[in-house]
Chain A
């Protein structure tokens, strides 16, 4: 449950930040994609760090 919440939180938060950057710089979705991937990576890192061995 916590793991899933970290993953979703990461993708949502950094996806949102990326989306805002997209709107600001008019980059047409690139930043959103980068943000979601970054957020997923951060979420996985957090899961390993907090719930892993």
Chain B
């Protein structure tokens, strides 16, 4: 259907709407259905085949106590819930809402247990690694989710149903509007309660995550009146493949490196070994804990900033300097693991990696960079996953508040725990509230926003606007920041919003599978999230975890033990702060010279139970 038709073509009525088709969405649907509600799940792609959930290596972390009770005799029972809780809060630089971290720790064991039950039905490999980590594949994670949903009555699933805006009526969420991607039909869903399980936002050009990571849920929540927080904290992964093109974005180098299956030098363009620039105490901290990500990314980013990286921001995994025998042994071990996990041998995530192994054997090198893998920030939630907007709940990567400024625990477990809690909370609300009714005017306006792009008289392509957005993020919003580059990025973001968005034109007027149309709508969400991230980074005049200000390198605990919130007021983005709930673990009073000085402090504390 062409032209600017903006009337709704299908209305779906349900009790609880879950937006998102990954681990969080699946568990939310299950939680809500078990509470007796009629549940509809809308996935932008496909349930269990979308989002970052399937891109993971994948690990599910529980405390050793819970793992032991699930029958893992090798689990370390000294790795208690309390130890895990302390690690999350302290390694998160004390920005966690401690009640949320507590929930994560308390509920993790039982949720992982149940999930493993579904996982075993997929016939994929799931291996336990002491003290408390389960290792499997992203594919298995997705398959397990589908099994769990299939075995729970009362859940209706719509794939390729992309939701763009929430609907509210008298300050309560009553549903959402979106597009059936295949047909192009405009869809309205009426629901008593809505859960946002839409994952994170990734604003950069170098991607190791799923194409879904455009911050749709975060932007929707923001537009509807909820708050975002911690948007300045984006988690980076070091050693992601930059070249050749067919392997670009692969996290295989990182995985092999942290498992010690390969031991290359990490060489900068001057031939120096990055690892020698990392103080021994921090190297020890990185080995076997999740601190690897922050420590290595930090020193890596310094090399890039000081002009000792390639123009792609790459360093080299240099295999010429270390023992061939060691690498052949490592390569064989890697092969066996790949066979065990994926049954395919020299293939990782669909690509043949024989050529990569040959490079190792020949003493060559891989070009690797740092890539944003996960968003620590997102929608503000309380310990019941409520957003503050009646009827709206959120969980998983789309929400925030568990991990503070640095995540050291498993994001998949976050999805399991807060997915389930959000489903239950949404069902509780749905059972006690009045029937949902659309505000007709608002519905028409929302549909007009979707369809109106077809009338927009512009010549700019959506993918070009995306590129400009990525360039602004790459140049001004990396891991290492300063006021000048952040202001420059913000100016460009503002320019894109004011000048480029209204000039986007759609070449195809047909609605069926109109990718350009969807990307034009998506880019607005990405832009909102990026703007929130930059504004928060400008406001936070200190450094903490995955936010590093060259002009304010100190970790300033006296002034900055607070979260930065972004919300909409009179059409503009406003910043507020609030102290996280600190009721169990007391933060330090004094400052640290920089984020690595704090890391060094952590390495000296009792850190007996490493991952």
- Chains A and B are bound partners: no
